[in-house]
Amino acid sequence: MYKVFQEYLERSLLDRFDLQSRPIPAGLESQVSERGKHPATIQSWCYQCPEFRKIRYTYIDAGVSAQIFNCVIYPNYQYELPLLGIDFLSFGQVKNLIVMDFQPLFQDEAYLERYIHPLKRLHDSYPDLTQDLEMKFYDANQYFSKYLLFAKTDSETVKTRAFEAFKDYLNLYWEILAAAEPLNDPSDIQRIVKAQKDYDQYSADRDPASGLFSSYFGHPWAERFLYEFLFEDAKSVALAVQSG
């Protein structure tokens, strides 16, 4: 269901940036599961370029039982831009969850005005994709903006409205990047380094997808995937205890 989203993202990136492959740890690039009624495959891609230190996206294809597309784009440390976060999930072709946001690294007013407020116009254009849903695993005031797309919807809306919103959010993100001034002060850059590391730790500690990965591909593989690829700057609590 979300392959067209992935293909649009790839074309958009290749048209604008000088992408270089970024290594994925051995054994994590792809995997196949024969568990359950429908075999599941997971495949990931990762790139970098002068503007972005990490562009990662993953597709899980479990046939009619599940289709999942996840992507996070991390700007290089010289840019204080929000991260671009994308999560599209469909289960049984009837449960469809859309999440897309400019994920702010900071919550001060000046930062939000510069990088988040430009989203308001797009957000207001898609009221059907901005439902007031409860966040069960995350604090809505941390690493999320008030202009995120967050909706449960039907498959037809995914193919039409959600796809249009996806393209609009992507294009605005490229525009904000083009207007951004790189940081030069080492202390400012270190602030971004810490903020992105904190994001990885926060996300790894709460990511509900780890249970899904475990159910398809086993717990050991899922743990590696979470901490060595998705959120590589996070430290596993279990590993921290072992080394402590």
Does residue 140 register a pLDDT over 80? Answer: no
In a domain, 91, yes or no: yes
Does residue 139 register a pLDDT over 70? Answer: no
Burial class (CB in 10 A: 0-12, 13-18, 19+), 211: exposed
> Among residues of the chain, what percentage have pLDDT more than 70?
91
- Residue-wise pLDDT tens digits, 149-196: 988 888 888 899 999 999 999 999 999 999 999 999 999 999 999 999
In this structure, what CATH number is given to the domain that contains residue 51? 3.40.1500.20
Query: What token pair was written down for 211?
Result: 């249970």
Report the residue count for the chain: 244
Supply the range of the domain harboring residue 42. 3-184
Does residue 93 register a pLDDT over 80? Answer: no
Total count of domains within the chain:
1
In a domain, 7, yes or no: yes
The band of 216, judged by pLDDT with boundaries at 50, 70 and 90, is confident
Provide the b/e sequence for 56-74 (b: ≥16 CB within 10 Å).
Answer: bbbbbbbeeebbbbbbbbb
Average pLDDT over residues 57-81: 95
Average pLDDT over residues 78-83: 97
Average pLDDT over residues 218-237: 91
